[in-house]
Every structure is written in C-alpha cells, then in structure tokens.
Amino acid sequence: METLERIIAEHPFFAGLESPYTNLLTGCASNVRFDAGTYIFKEGEEANEFYLIRAGKVALEIFAPQRKPIMLATLGEGEILGWSWLLPPYQWRFHAHAVEPMRGIALDGKCLRMKCEQNHDLGYEMLKRFAKIMEQRLEATRFQLLDVYAVGR
C-alpha cells in the first residue's frame, strides 16, 4: 500500500525534496476525492489547504456579473491546485470544480504555514516551488491573452 509520504515524495511538485521535509509535509496531508461536478472551493472562502492532483481534471473558473462563468484553465494529474493558502488574506480568488472525478492529497495550509514559520528551510523550498508554478501560469495566461488564433493576427 502506498504511504502518504511516498505519494508526496513522488509527486512532480515535490521532486527532489529531501526526506525530512516530505516527512514534515506528511503530517499535514490527507487523501481527498471529489466527484465530477462538485466544487472543491469557491471564491471568497477561506483558503486553508492546497491539493496535489493525482488523477482527474479540475477547472478554475471566474465569475462576472450577468455573464456565464469563464473557465480560465484546467489542471490535471501531476499538478497542484491552490496557492491562496500561502498569502494573506488566505481566501480563494477563483472557483475550482472537478470536471472529472478528482483524486489527490490535501495539504493543510494552516499546519503548513506553522511548519514553514518554524523551519525556514522548508518555507524556502515551498516558496521556490510555488514561485515556479506562479511563473508558469502567469506566462500561460499572458500567452492566452494574446488570442493568437483570432482572425487578423
């Protein structure tokens, strides 16, 4: 049977993370499962966890008044969902809903914030990894904004 620590250590987001840190993370981790169509979190709610996606597909959505929700991106196996737990005011900025049944690991943000404060090396490892994800998603969003397939481009 796979242990949580092993699953965390093998997830691409934590590739190369030393064993003492994965051990610390495991103390804040739990298995989760969401059925297709269910919301994992909604904009404005407290952001107290993030997710390592092991299987399935999750859509990030944004709402605007008098418009249908807009799907900004989808995330799948091997990716992480959520970084609002990391920065004040610790509130979700978007909706996330499972497009396909989602199976993953939830990491308790409060627990993790406390461990990162106590162990700055762990905090730095976490920030480096999240900064990389933020950079990739920012770039993808900028590229999306170019609307390169529109007529006349």
Partner 1 sequence: MTMATAATTDPMLPQPYSVRQVVKETPDTFTLTLEPSNGAGGSRFQPGQFSMLWVFGVGELPISISGDHAERDRLVYTVRSVGQATQALVSCAVGEAVGVRGPFGIGWPIEQAQGRDVLVIAGGIGLAPLRPVIYEVLHNREKYGRLVILYGARSPRDLLYRKELAAWVRQRETQVLVTVDYGGLSWRGHVGVVATLFKYARLQPARSLAFACGPEVMMRFVARDLETHGLDRKNIYLSMERNMKCAVGFCGHCQYGPHFICKDGPIFSYDRMRPLLEKYEL
**Residues found near partner 1 in the complex (CB under 8 A):** 12, 57, 59, 68-74, 76-79, 99-100, 140, 143-144, 146-153
Whichever of 3 and 149 has its CB closer to partner 1, that residue is 149
- Whole-number minimum distance, CB 54 to partner 1, in Å? 14
Min dist CB 66 to partner 1, Å, is: 15
- Compute CA 62 distance to the chain's CA centroid, rounded to the nearest angstrom: 16
Cα dihedral 82/94/32/17 (nearest 10): -10
What backbone torsions phi and psi does residue 48 show, to the nearest 5 degrees?
-120, 15
Instruction: Provide the minimum distance between the beta carbon of 116 and partner 1 in the complex, in angstroms, as a whole number.
Output: 26
Residues 102, 3: Cα–Cα separation, whole Å: 19
Residue 113 CA to residue 109 CA, distance in Å, equals 6
Of residues 124 and 143, the one with the C-beta less far from partner 1? 143
By beta-carbon proximity to partner 1, the closer residue of 2 and 147 is 147
Pick the closer one to partner 1 by CB: 23 or 136. 136
Q: 131 and 95 in contact (C-beta within 8 Å)?
A: no
The least CB distance from residue 96 to partner 1, in Å, is: 13
